[in-house]
Amino acid sequence: MTTLDRIRAMLVKDYKLDPGELTLDAQLEDLGLDSLGMAELVFDIEDKFGLCVPDTAVSLTTLGEVVGFIDDLIVARDRSGQTAQFMPLAMQDHGQHQSP
Amino acid sequence: MRRVAVTGIGVVSPIGHSPHDVFEAARRGHSGIHRLDMPGAGRLTAPLAATVQFDGAAHFEPPQQRLLDRVSQFAVVAARRAFTDAQCALTHPERERAGVFLGTGMGGTVSMDDGYQTLYGRQSDRIKPTLILQGMHNAPAAWIAQEHQLRGPTLTYSTACSSSSVAIGEAWLRLACGALDVAIAGGSEAPLSLGSLKAWEAMHTLAKQDQGDPATSCKPFSKNRSGMVLGEGAALVVLEPLDRALARGAAIHGEIIGYGLTTDVGHITRPSGEGQAAAIRAALASAGLSAAQVDSINAHGTGTQANDSVETSAIKLVFGSRANRVLISATKSVHGHLLGAAGALECVLSLLALRNNVALPTMHLQEPDPQCDLDYVPNRARPGAAGQTMLSHSFAFGGTNAVLALRAAG
């Protein structure tokens, strides 16, 4: 299953979008994916692909650009040899979460 | 001041999903309280609640449902039902002068509890990007305004247990003075997260489970009362000037004729009979009523030791020797305490009691309490007894006392 196939499946199931609309050149705005919708989609992609999408400004306007962006992250992840997993908070900053 | 009619009722409640069903359940004393079956319920001393049978997926597409906490889902569905009941199609200019007035005590507490479970329980940082929108207190009102394109004020009131009586009262004021032409007002609450239940339990306000029948655990005004039972749900009413309602031939459920609002400033939880009496008097004054003109009352009647005796004393302060001739119904005995939605559901039940002229019973009142010695319509509805004019009481932690005055249609 390609990245496009997987993202399309998510958009059909969870966002109730028409599969026919989900072409590589489809504009995210036309699909109803505004900034809030994209925040949700990125969150779901992180879960399903085991990725950590960096919190940096990336301008994505089409579905194809999203697919390309995710594929780049997958390549980078695999090259680094790390299995992407979300580190539990306790491992990131031991005990810090207790306060205030 | 303009007269204000209630032309639409929408409910999502533990005792039914239509005006007919909630009225019949209250009239027959069919309790919506039961043993609570949810993860963690075993950690509660008395796992009791009045829950709503509700499938959000039947009402919302997944993309919207993910943004709505249970409290917003209840509110939006109740608003749809209220507008359908009112058969009130608004023009674009009318929508500019239409507003939403919604009470909620705890907002999106189920979603927030889930977020904290992720953060502290599972020690994960995977907080959903929708959590703020689910949790914020003004979400229910905002979703109603969006769905019905109501462009006037969209206001959220959070005065604990009186939130939705305040919401209806504040809407009434704006309609009565001509600032607004249509309002949808009421409350919504979905407080049944484990965190919230444990917090209420820690305050020692919740009822013990009745050993014979859990459904009878809330016993307002009874000597063996042991506390309140939390409930969930929403109740909303469509309000409009009586003239407008008559002109369009709308069915009228009743009228809001007055609203009293006072604050107890002595203690954060302990109710004040004087403060409650002042709110009742303020409601009478705003309605232009004398105490002699009140036929019946839907009491705050939570089933806690403190509330029920203090509320009784407040009624005596206002009505004097006539107090025992005013019929008092505590319907929380069957629908539980919906906190920020309680006043609205009780306002709805009061309007239906007036419309059907039936005094609703205070259920599970088996042991008279010498400190609660008025006529609470114990255990059996009284047909032909509700009269023409009713008050609906809501008294809150924080001290906000709200009383609505209601009159039968016609």
Ordered by start, the domain boundaries in chain B are 4-247, 259-407
Tens of pLDDT, residue by residue over B264-310, are 998 998 899 999 999 999 999 999 999 999 999 999 999 999 999 99
List, in order, residues 6 or more apart from B380 with CB less than 8 Å away. Answer: B29, B361
Tokens in use for B197?
């239940």
Asked if A88 and B119 come within 8 Å (Cβ–Cβ), the reply is no
Average pLDDT over residues A55-82: 88
Widest Cα–Cα separation across chain B: 62
Q: Distances from the Cα of A81 to the Cαs of A46, A51, A75, B77, in angstroms?
A: 17, 13, 10, 50
Sign of CA dihedral A23, A25, A28, A29: negative
Hey, which residues of A are catalytic here?
34
Secondary structure (3-state) at A55: coil
> H/E/C letters for each residue in chain B?
CCCEEEEEEEEEECCECCHHHHHHHHHHCCCCEEECCCCCHHHCCCCEEECCCCCHHHCCCHHHHCCCCHHHHHHHHHHHHHHHHHCCCCCHHHHHCEEEEEECCCCCHHHHHHHHHHHHHCCCCCCCCCHHHHHCCCHHHHHHHHHHCCCCCEEEECCHHHHHHHHHHHHHHHHHHCCCCEEEEEEEECCCCHHHHHHHHHCCCECCCCCCCHHHCCCCCECCCCCECEECEEEEEEEEEHHHHHHCCCCCCEEEEEEEEEECCCCCCCCCHHHHHHHHHHHHHHHCCCHHHCCEEECCCCCCHHHHHHHHHHHHHHHHHHHHHCEEECCHHHHCECHHHHHHHHHHHHHHHHHHCEECCECCCCCEECCECCCCCECCCEECCCCCEEEEEEECCCCEEEEEEEECCC
Sign of CA dihedral B372, B375, B376, B378: positive
Quote the pLDDT of residue A85.
Answer: 52
Q: How far apart are CA B194 and CA B186, in angstroms?
A: 25
User: Does residue B257 surpass a pLDDT of 60?
Assistant: yes
Of the candidates B17, B148, B337, B393, the residue annotated as catalytic is B337
Average pLDDT over residues B102-106: 98
Asked if A86 and B119 come within 8 Å (Cβ–Cβ), the reply is no
Percent share of chain B, pLDDT over 90: 98
Secondary structure (3-state) at A62: strand
Average pLDDT over residues B161-177: 98
User: Does residue B357 surpass a pLDDT of 90?
Assistant: yes
Of B62, B119, B126, the CB nearest to A86: B126
Asked if B125 and A16 come within 8 Å (Cβ–Cβ), the reply is no
Tokens in use for B194?
């484990």
Average pLDDT over residues A67-93: 71
Please give the mean pLDDT across all residues of chain A. 82
Interface test with A, best of B60, B119, B124 (most A CBs within 10 A): B124
Of A16, A43, A86, the CB nearest to B63: A16
Q: How far apart are CA B242 and CA B6, in angstroms?
A: 8
List, in order, residues 6 or more apart from B173 with CB less than 8 Å away. Answer: B259
Band (A35; pLDDT cuts 50, 70, 90): confident
Asked if B125 and A89 come within 8 Å (Cβ–Cβ), the reply is yes
Contact B234, B75 (CB under 8 A): yes
Instruction: Note if the pTM is more than 0.90.
Output: yes
Cβ neighbours, 10 Å, residue B24: 15
Cβ neighbours, 10 Å, residue B212: 8
Interface of A with B in 29-68 (CB under 8 A): 32, 36-37, 39-40, 42-43, 47
Quote the pLDDT of residue A98.
Answer: 37
List, in order, residues 6 or more apart from B146 with CB less than 8 Å away. Answer: none
Average pLDDT over residues B204-214: 97
Asked if A16 and B119 come within 8 Å (Cβ–Cβ), the reply is no
**Domain B4-247 class in CATH:** alpha beta
Please give the mean pLDDT across all residues of chain B. 97
Of A16, A39, A92, the CB nearest to B129: A39
Q: How far apart are CA B46 and CA B301, in angstroms?
A: 20
User: Does residue B365 surpass a pLDDT of 90?
Assistant: yes
Is B30 marked active-site? no
CA atoms within 13 A on the CB side of B189: 36
Secondary structure (3-state) at A97: helix
Q: What are the backbone dihedrals phi and psi of residue B377, each rounded to the nearest 5 degrees, phi first?
A: 50, 60
Secondary structure (3-state) at A27: strand
Asked if A89 and B63 come within 8 Å (Cβ–Cβ), the reply is no
Asked if B129 and A37 come within 8 Å (Cβ–Cβ), the reply is no
DSSP state, residue A90: H
Q: Distances from the Cα of B26 to the Cαs of B78, B134, B248, B406, in angstroms?
A: 19, 32, 31, 18
Average pLDDT over residues A82-99: 42
Of the candidates B17, B148, B300, B335, the residue annotated as catalytic is B300
Asked if A89 and B124 come within 8 Å (Cβ–Cβ), the reply is yes
Angle in degrees, CA B166, B287, B140, rounded to 5: 20
Residues of B in contact with A50 (CB under 8 A): none
Tens of pLDDT, residue by residue over B18-70, are 999 999 999 999 999 999 999 999 999 999 999 999 999 999 999 999 999 99
> Could you tell me which residues are beta bridge partners of residue B112?
none
Architecture of domain B259-407: 3-Layer(aba) Sandwich (3.40)
User: Chain A to chain B, count of Cβ pairs less than 8 Å apart?
Assistant: 38
Contact B78, B347 (CB under 8 A): no
Residues of B in contact with A14 (CB under 8 A): 62-63, 66
Peptide bond just before B153 cis, omega within 30 deg: no
Is B337 marked active-site? yes
DSSP state, residue A25: T
Quote the pLDDT of residue A55.
Answer: 77
Q: How far apart are CA B289 and CA B281, in angstroms?
A: 9
Tens of pLDDT, residue by residue over B106-159, are 999 999 999 999 999 999 999 999 999 999 999 999 999 999 999 999 999 999
* Domains B4-247 and B259-407 agree in fold: yes
Minimal Cα distance from A87: which residue of B?
B124
Quote the pLDDT of residue A56.
Answer: 74
Quote the pLDDT of residue B367.
Answer: 94
Contact B27, B349 (CB under 8 A): no
User: Does residue A87 surpass a pLDDT of 50?
Assistant: no
Asked if A16 and B62 come within 8 Å (Cβ–Cβ), the reply is yes
Interface test with B, best of A18, A40, A52, A91 (most B CBs within 10 A): A40
Of B63, B123, B130, the CB nearest to A90: B123
Average pLDDT over residues B79-103: 97
Among B40, B50, B29, B121, CA closest to B335: B50
